[in-house]
Amino acid sequence: MALAMEAPDQTDTADHIVEVRSITKFYGSDVHALDSVDLAFPTGQMTTLLGPSGCGKTTLLKIIAGLLEPTSGDVFVKGKKVSGPGPERAFVFQDFALLPWATALRNVAFGLELRGDDRSEREERARHYISEVGLSGFEDKYPHELSGGMRQRVGLARALAVDADVLLMDEPFSAVDEQTRRKFQEDLLHLLGVEKKSVIFVTHSIEEAVYVSDQIVLLSPRPGRIHSIIRPEIDRSVSPDDIRREKNYLDTVEEIWVELRKYLD
């Protein structure tokens, strides 16, 4: 399998829930983070942004979320130009970003509270997603009473509860141990199979990117540009362990590493 560059189709928005066009970002006058990025994110699929440290992965994710303004260029969601955060996008932070004074239940319901949903309805919905991420029985616990993995599950439940079309996930599993990380990857794929969300995911892990992704966007070192777009074509009908032993999985991991290693020499 060769790593292939696929140009995003800017004319067909039906199959692309998010598009970025000519996104460039400078921090101050001397840090050129992103340069003329054109990219389309397929509806109902998981796209991972992967690349060397400092290549602009999180910057691009935050621009799509509306948390950062690009220096130039535009972001479109469902064909409409956006210029800030919106209810169709939900962000899962690397550091959980939970309210320390609120229970797990209220943290999950917080976005629903902000938009004015009735208390009984938002708590019912929050309880549903707490159950979905495997935390039933922990509704009344505070963040300091939960493990790092549990806190990340609360963050994921909060993002799912607001029923956004797009989940934006910034290295959501980086703070947990390897065993928990693998279980999270499996649980996330199961949840997305049920919820049918579109996901834009940032990770530093090649293995994680290949395991979870329908599409991987490999970025070059700063200023970030699209180096290539890879579609792993993993057979997900087999068990998680079998996927990680599959030849196509292993070959894709190795070929991406060969490309990234060029930037480290």
Write a three-state SS string for 130-151.
HHHCCCCCCCCCCHHHCCHHHH
- Note down the domain range covering 243: 1-88+199-265
Q: Which tokens is 265 given?
A: 């020499």
pLDDT digits (tens, 9 = 90+) for 122-169: 999 999 999 988 899 999 999 999 988 888 889 888 988 888 899 999
- Is residue 155 in a domain? no
- Is residue 73 in a domain? yes
Residues of the chain falling short of pLDDT 50: 1-2, 4-13
What number of residues does the chain have? 265
- Is residue 258 in a domain? yes
- Is residue 151 in a domain? no
**Residue 213 burial (CB < 10 Å; 0-12/13-18/19+)?**
buried
For residue 179, the Cα-to-chain-centroid distance in whole angstroms is: 20
| DSSP E strand boundaries for 43-127 | 46-50, 72-77, 80-82, 89-92
Q: What is the pLDDT of residue 265?
A: 64
Q: Give this prediction's pTM.
A: 0.86
Q: What is the pLDDT of residue 193?
A: 79
Q: What is the pLDDT of residue 14?
A: 53
Q: Give the CA angle between residues 260, 253, 8 to the nearest 5°.
A: 70
Q: What are phi and psi of 42, to 5 degrees?
A: -65, 140
Report the alpha-carbon distance of residue 198 to residue 112 in Å, rounded: 20
- Is residue 99 in a domain? no
Beta strand 89-92 with 31-42 is: unpaired
- Is residue 220 in a domain? yes
- Is residue 6 in a domain? yes
- Is residue 70 in a domain? yes
CATH number of the domain enclosing 29: 3.40.50.300
Q: What is the pLDDT of residue 2?
A: 45
Report the alpha-carbon distance of residue 211 to residue 136 in Å, rounded: 27
Count structural domains, the chain: 1
Report the alpha-carbon distance of residue 172 to residue 188 in Å, rounded: 11
